[in-house]
Amino acid sequence: MSARDKVIGAIRAGLGARGDEPGRRGQVRARLERSPHGLIPARARQTKPELIAQFARMLEAQTAVVRTVENLKALPQAIAEQLAAFNLPARLRHGDDPVIAGLDWEGTMIERETGPAIGTDAISLSRASLAASETGTLILTSGADNPSTLNFLPDTHFVVLLAENLHGSYEEAWDALRTTYGRGAMPRTVNFVSGPSATADIEHTLVRGAHGPRRLAVFVVLNGQPTRRKN
Amino acid sequence: MQPTSHSFKQNASAALIDADLQRALGHARGGFSTKRAMARDLLPEFDALCEQAKQIKDHTIAHLDLYLEAYEQKVIETGGQVHWATTAEDARQIILGICKEAGAKLVTKGKSMVAEEISLNGALEGAGYEVAETDLGEYIIQIRNEAPSHIIAPAVHLNRDQVEADFRRVHKHLPEGRSLTEPTELVSEARGILREKFLAADVGITGANFIIAETGTSVIVTNEGNGDLTQLLPRIHIVLTTIEKVVPTLSDVSAILRVLARSATGQEISMYTTFSTGPRRPGDPDGPEEYHVVLLDNGRTEMIGSDFQDMLRCIRCGSCMNHCPVYSAVGGHSYGWVYPGPMGAVLTPQLIGVHEAGSLPNASTFCGRCEAVCPMKIPLPKMMRHWREREYDAGDSPWLQRMAIRGWSYAAKRPKLYRFFANAAMGVMGEWGKARGNFRWLPLAGAWLKYRDLPAPPGRTFQSQWKSELKRRRIEAEMQELGL
Ligand code: SF4
């Protein structure tokens, strides 16, 4: 008997079930197909401005910097200002995400490289395709244009979020993801990021920058209409 | 690892006089529980969410066969491989096989209690692989050649100066005069050392906090981001997990996540929660080329339908040990195996046998705090009592204790005899204890009283006091009737 048959058999013996009961199968199928929402905390059910404010508050409590910008046109300037505020060189790496690729960087003096991160990169810029306000959580999805290494290897991580992609709860964010990827399907990696890397493994003292980024800065773009690039 | 659970008593006695350990436990004491209370208070729905989380897990266990089948199918559909393992040895062999096939040299690991459970490091090192633990706490105990003493804070038994000494001992290539007095300096040093390992590793092994049937996804929850670098950078990612970690859907995992970090560290959510589904997709610029899931039973199926089924709801948050007076006095190593504290007292006898671990369920004051703070509402004290009964049935309890219990039960079934002995004992104890008001030693209870005082009884049994109380009440009632 295979290990699989042994395990499944032992579960069925313990439950007193056969596995072909239409009732049990029906319940399981229905839950998997509908993924029903359970109790959603009240804090996730607020107006958009309140959700944005809560999102920023939560991230700031984790030492992240949160800046709101009016539109994508204003974004490169805000990024340049933040680099200066952190006292960092004007050089960063990003993927080919259309929102980022479509930015007009002229006048910022920022040097840019694209592609997955390598161990020596100091600063990265990624786009969070979604976010959940309830805990100040950015949701980054991997794909050809969004290397996951950008989220972990560099010392400083900049993230762009379009306000329209901010939801109250995790469940609403998943629903939005299902409309993009289809039911039961997922991008290869989905990263919930709720602050810079941390550890309290030595004497219960919180230290930032354990293995992932020490600094996190988030740019919430209120109006996500693509900007027209000057040629 | 070789368990020493049978010598819990000796371990605990040694722990109580270990000055370093007591200093370290002092750092942790109260921290976790205060933070948990604050996180709970910030979320008015917390209790309702715990109840919901419990129901999700109960539903899942009741349909475990079907959810595991659905999960497996999804993993295969997304290009991953599922390896079923019934025993620890099976799981070790599967993992060794994958590493061998890959021609691996260096294996990085994210924190995994299941890996501890199956002594994976020993097996990998024995087969010639270099193994690098990447969670800071795990790294520290790895270079000390120790076991974790807490399921979410493996090095909680250590002090900063001890870690400094270990880093100086092991990181010989770094300048001797460097400063390592601040935790930040220790963290940076470990970051630098482990960064090289991350980038050079051939295989990354992580555990999973959850696996999701809806999508065939494994989930890890960390604050450091080490698990992510472990599973993202090497060519091969192996997820080592156990069958009870499955949850039906993304909604269900979200619901349970809301109570996990709050119960564990008192955070609203951990810094990183990562959902991995299959290997690198066409066009992906990074991610592992192979994605393997080792799905282990190792005694879990035996718990289904038994007195211990509720334990399968455990999400390994550590809240029960953070609130346990015994754990906080003696630390995790006293429990002698992988899982300490109240959850360990229930799980360990199941996993390594009541003969080895039968004394753990006695390491409890039955104060009930563990159950009260368990987000999954697991009746830990009740299950510890079940183990005590089994230990007794298995004949593993000491001879004197068995004779005493037998004698007590003989008398307890014979009320007159019971009253006779009880009155006699109470009279004697009342006299003895009069002077101090409590006992530091009693015959047959030396161990119990070693670290506790027992209040001296008033010299009369409850039954005889109750009798006089009844008499007094009758007299009062009669007097009232008479209008006095
Ligand atoms: S028994 Fe409960 S409190 Fe203890 S680790 Fe498991 S879920 Fe957490």
Mean pLDDT of the A69-77 span: 96
Q: CA of B463 to nearest chain A CA: how many angstroms apart? A: 44
User: Which parts of B29-159 fold into alpha helices (H)?
Assistant: 31-42, 46-62, 64-77, 88-101, 113-117, 120-126, 136-144
Q: Are A17 and A10 in contact (CB under 8 A)?
A: no
* Least confident segment among A126-130, A131-135, B188-192, B255-259: B188-192
Residues of A in contact with B278 (CB under 8 A): 188
Ligand 1 within 6 A of B264 CB? no
Interface contact A11-B304, CB threshold 8 A: yes
- Rounded-to-integer distance, Cα A156 and Cα B411, Å: 72
CATH of the domain at A117: 3.40.50.10420
pLDDT at residue A230, rounded to an integer: 47
Q: Phi and psi dihedrals of A138, rounded to 5?
A: -80, 140
Instruction: Please check the confidence at residue B401 and state whether its pLDDT lies above 70.
Output: no
Residues A97 and A153 in one domain: yes
Which of B157, B149, B116 minimizes the C-alpha distance to B133? Answer: B116
End-to-end CA distance of chain A: 67
Q: Which SS3 state, helix, strand or coil, does residue A179 take?
A: helix
A54 and A27 share a domain? no
- Region for residue B42 given its phi and psi (left: phi exceeds 0; alpha: psi -120 to 50; beta: otherwise): alpha
Ligand 1 within 6 A of B54 CB? no
Candidates A17, A62, A210; nearest CB to B65: A17
> Chain A residue closest to B242 (CA)?
A7
Q: Are residues A118 and A206 in the same domain?
A: yes
Q: Are residues A1 and A55 in the same domain?
A: no
The partner residue sitting opposite A11, judged by closest CB among B64, B233, B287, is: B64
Residues of B (21-80) whose Cβ lies below 8 Å from A: 24, 27-28, 31, 43-45, 48-49, 52, 56, 59, 62-70, 72, 74, 78
Q: B19 to chain A nearest CA, in Å? A: 15
Model confidence band, residue B157 (pLDDT cutoffs 50, 70, 90)? very high
* pLDDT range class, residue A8, cuts 50, 70, 90: very high
The atom of ligand 1 lying closest to the CA of B370 is: 3
Among candidate residues B280, B251, B239, B292, the one with its CA nearest the CA of residue B80: B292
Q: Residue B317 CA: which ligand 1 atom is closest?
A: 8
**B427 band by pLDDT with thresholds 50, 70 and 90:** low
Smallest CA-to-CA distance from B398 within B364, B447, B344 is with B447
Please give the pLDDT value at position B473. 62
Q: Indicate yes or no: CB of A148 within 8 angstroms of CB of B286.
A: yes
Q: For residue A202, what is the DSSP state?
A: T
pLDDT exceeds 50 at position B484? no
B317 CA → ligand 1 middle, Å: 5
Nearest to B227 by CA among B217, B219, B216, B235: B219
Number of domains in chain A: 2
- Note whether residue A213 is domain-resident: yes
Token code pair at residue B80: 């991953």
Q: How confident is the model at residue A86 (pLDDT cuts 50, 70, 90)?
A: very high
Under DSSP, the state recorded for B456 is P
Contacts of A198 (CB under 8 A, 6+ apart): A62, A206, A207, A208, A209, A210, B223, B224, B271
Contact B155 A201 (CB under 8 A): yes
* C-alpha to C-alpha distance for B439 and B449, rounded to whole angstroms: 8
**Closest atom of ligand 1 relative to the B346 alpha carbon:** 1
Least trusted range by pLDDT, from A42-46, A49-53, B324-328, B452-456 = B452-456
Calculate how close chain B gets to A33, using CA atoms only, in Å: 8
A10 with A48, same domain?
no
A105 shares a domain with A4: no
Helix or strand holding residue A229 (H, E): none
Q: Give B229 Cα–ligand 1 centroid separation in angstroms.
A: 27
Least confident stretch, A110-124, B41-55, B267-281, B441-455: B441-455
Å from CA of B152 to ligand 1 middle: 11
Same domain for A49 and A21, yes or no, is no
The number of the ligand 1 atom at minimal distance from the alpha carbon of B151 is 5
Same domain for A3 and A110, yes or no, is no
The larger pLDDT score, comparing residue B140 to residue A119, is at: B140
A19 falls in which pLDDT band (50, 70, 90)?
very high
Contact call for B45 and A137, based on CB within 8 A: no
Do residue B284 and residue A143 have CB atoms under 8 angstroms apart?
Answer: yes
Distance B341 CA to ligand 1 centre (A): 10
Look at residue B167 and tell me whether its pLDDT is greater than 70.
Answer: yes
Ligand 1: centre distance to CA B162 (Å):
29
Q: B247 with B213: CB under 8 angstroms?
A: yes
Angle CA(B168)–CA(B170)–CA(B172) in degrees, nearest 5? 70
Integer angstrom CA distances of residue B117 from B68, B88, B243, B346: 21, 8, 14, 15
In order of A6, B179, B182, B192, the CA distances from B174 in angstroms are: 51, 11, 17, 11
pLDDT of res. B363: 80
pLDDT at A226: 76
Domain presence at residue A231: no
Q: Is the CB of B383 under 6 A from ligand 1?
A: no
In a domain, A230, yes or no: no
Query: B317 in ligand 1 pocket by Cβ < 6 Å?
Result: yes
**Does ligand 1 come within 6 angstroms of the Cβ of B219?**
no
**CB distance from B125 to chain A under 8 Å?**
no
pLDDT tens, residue by residue, B21-69:
999 998 877 788 899 999 999 999 999 999 999 999 999 999 999 999 9
Tokens of B99: 């590493």
Contact A32, A184 (CB under 8 A): yes
Whether A173 and A190 map to the same domain: the answer is yes
Question: Between A and B, how many residue pairs show a Cβ–Cβ distance under 8 A?
Answer: 261
Residue of B nearest to A188 (CA): B277
Q: Is A200 exposed, middle or buried (0-12, 13-18, 19+ CB in 10 A)?
A: buried
Q: Do A94 and A206 reside in the same domain of the chain?
A: yes
Going by the DSSP 8-state scheme, the letter that residue B327 receives in this structure is H
Q: How many CB atoms lie within 10 A of CB A63?
A: 14
Has residue A1 been placed in a domain? yes
Residue B428 has pLDDT above 60, yes or no: no
Residue A44 phi, psi dihedral angles, 5° rounding: -90, -5
pLDDT band at residue A228 under the 50/70/90 scheme? low
Q: How many CB atoms lie within 10 A of CB B147?
A: 21
User: Cβ of A31 and B248 within 8 Å?
Assistant: yes
Q: How far is B243 from chain A (nearest CA, A)?
A: 9
Alpha carbon separation from A99 to A71, A83, A161, A189, B272 (Å, rounded): 11, 20, 10, 19, 24
Any domain includes A130: yes
Assess whether A90 and A154 both reside in one domain.
Answer: yes
Q: Supply the pLDDT for residue B393.
A: 76
Ligand 1 geometric centre to CA of B316 (Å): 5
Alpha carbons A185 and A175: distance in angstroms, whole number: 11
Q: Residue B278 gets which letter from DSSP?
A: S
* Residues 6+ away with beta carbon under 8 Å from A193: A128, A137, A138, A139, A140, A151, A157, A159, A216, B271, B272
Q: Is the pLDDT of residue B244 over 90?
A: yes
What integer is the mean pLDDT of B391-406?
64
Q: Environment class of residue A156 by beta-carbon count within 10 Å: exposed (0-12), middle (13-18) or buried (19+)?
A: buried
H-only helix segments in A125-196: 170-181
Distance of residue A41 Cα from the nearest chain B Cα, in angstroms: 6
Q: What is the dihedral of CA B453, B454, B456, B460, to 10 degrees?
A: 180
From B320, B339, B347, B382, mutation site for ligand 1 pocket: most ligand atoms within 8 A of C-beta: B320
Nearest CA in chain A to B148: A201
Same domain, A19 and A72: no
Q: Torsion-angle region of residue A19: left (phi > 0), alpha (psi -120 to 50) or beta?
A: left
All domains in chain B, ordered by first residue: 43-302 (3.40.50.10420), 400-481 (no CATH)
**CA-to-CA distance for B5 and B396, rounded, in angstroms?**
13
Span B316-322, mean pLDDT? Answer: 95
- Provide the pLDDT confidence category of residue B442 given band limits of 50, 70 and 90: low
For residue B426, pLDDT beyond 70? no
Check residue B145 and give left, alpha or beta (phi > 0: left; psi -120 to 50: alpha). left
CA–CA separation, B46 vs B67, rounded Å? 27
Q: pLDDT of B337-373, one tens digit each?
A: 999 999 999 999 999 998 898 889 888 888 999 999 9
Q: Is residue A228 a part of any domain in this protein?
A: no
Among A54-58, B17-21, B81-85, B422-426, where is mean pLDDT lowest? B422-426
Q: Which of B66, B278, B301 sits opposite A25 (nearest CB)?
A: B66
Distance from CA of B373 to the nearest CA of A (A): 20
Residue B294 at interface with chain A, using a CB cutoff of 8 Å: no
C-alpha B163/C-alpha B143 separation (Å) is: 10
Gap from CA of B377 to ligand 1 centroid (Å): 8
DSSP assignment string, B194-244: HHHHHHH-SEEEE--SEEETTTTEEEEEESSSHHHHHHHSSSEEEEEEEGG
Rounded Cα distance, A118 and B257, in Å: 31
Helix spans in B368-439 (H): 369-373, 380-393, 399-412, 415-433
Distance B125 CA to ligand 1 centre (A): 31
| Residue numbers of the domain that contains A14 | 1-34
Banded pLDDT at B325 (limits 50, 70, 90): very high
Q: What is the pLDDT of residue B471?
A: 64
For the segment B75-118, what is each residue's pLDDT rounded down to a tens digit? Answer: 999 999 999 999 999 999 999 999 999 999 999 999 999 999 99
Q: What percent of chain A has pLDDT over 90?
A: 89
Mean pLDDT over all residues of chain B? Answer: 87
- The pLDDT score that the predictor gives to residue A200 is 86
